[in-house]
Amino acid sequence: MLTACGGGGGTATDEPAPEAGGEEAVEQGETKTIRAGIGLNDAHPQYKGLLKFKEIVEERTDGAIEVQTYHSGQLGDDRTMTEALQLGSQEVVIPSTAPIANFVPEYNLFDFPFLFPSEEVADEVLDGEVGQMFLDMLPDQNLVGLAYWENGFRDLTNSKRAVASADDFNGLRIRTMENDLHLEAFRALGANPTPMAFTELFAAMQQGTVDGQENPIATIYLQRYHEVQDHVSNTNHVYSPFVFLMSKSFFDGLSEEQQQIVSEAALEAGQYQRELNREANAQYLDELQEEGMTYTEITPEARQEMVDIVQPVIDQYAERIGQDLVDQMYEAIEAAQQ
Query: Using CB under 6 A as the criterion, which residues of the chain lie in contact with ligand KDG when the complex forms?
Result: 38-40, 46, 78, 94-96, 151, 177, 198, 215, 240
Measure Cα distances from 231 to 73, 234, 239, 305, 333 in Å: 26, 10, 20, 20, 32
100: DSSP letter: H
Q: How far is the CB of 74 from ligand KDG (least distance, A)?
A: 11
* Sheet strand arrangement including 92-93: 65-70, 32-37, 92-93, 239-247, 143-153
Nearer to ligand KDG, 41 or 192 (CB): 41
Q: How far is the CB of 255 from ligand KDG (least distance, A)?
A: 29
Q: How far is the CB of 41 from ligand KDG (least distance, A)?
A: 9
Measure Cα distances from 80 to 64, 76, 102, 127, 175 in Å: 27, 6, 12, 27, 18
Q: How far is the CB of 189 from ligand KDG (least distance, A)?
A: 17
Q: How far is the CB of 224 from ligand KDG (least distance, A)?
A: 15
User: Residue 224 and residue 39: Cα distance in Å, rounded?
Assistant: 14
Residue spans of alpha helices (H) in the chain: 22-28, 45-60, 78-87, 97-100, 119-126, 129-135, 180-188, 201-206, 217-222, 248-252, 256-290, 300-321, 323-336
Nearer to ligand KDG, 165 or 194 (CB): 194
Q: How far is the CB of 311 from ligand KDG (least distance, A)?
A: 23
Nearer to ligand KDG, 95 or 193 (CB): 95
Can you give the C-alpha Rg of the chain in angstroms? 22
Question: By beta-carbon distance, which residue lies closest to ligand KDG?
Answer: 39
Question: How many angstroms separate the first and last alpha carbons of the chain?
Answer: 53
Q: How far is the CB of 99 from ligand KDG (least distance, A)?
A: 7
Q: What does the DSSP assignment read for 199-216?
A: GGHHHHHHTTS-SEEEE-
Nearer to ligand KDG, 155 or 168 (CB): 155
Nearer to ligand KDG, 242 or 254 (CB): 242
DSSP strand pairing (192-195 vs 239-247): unpaired
Q: How far is the CB of 199 from ligand KDG (least distance, A)?
A: 8
Q: How far is the CB of 216 from ligand KDG (least distance, A)?
A: 7
Nearer to ligand KDG, 131 or 241 (CB): 241
User: Residue 246 and residue 86: Cα distance in Å, rounded?
Assistant: 9
User: Residue 226 and residue 218: Cα distance in Å, rounded?
Assistant: 12
User: Residue 235 and residue 154: Cα distance in Å, rounded?
Assistant: 7
Query: Which residues is 295 bridged to in the sheet?
Result: 232
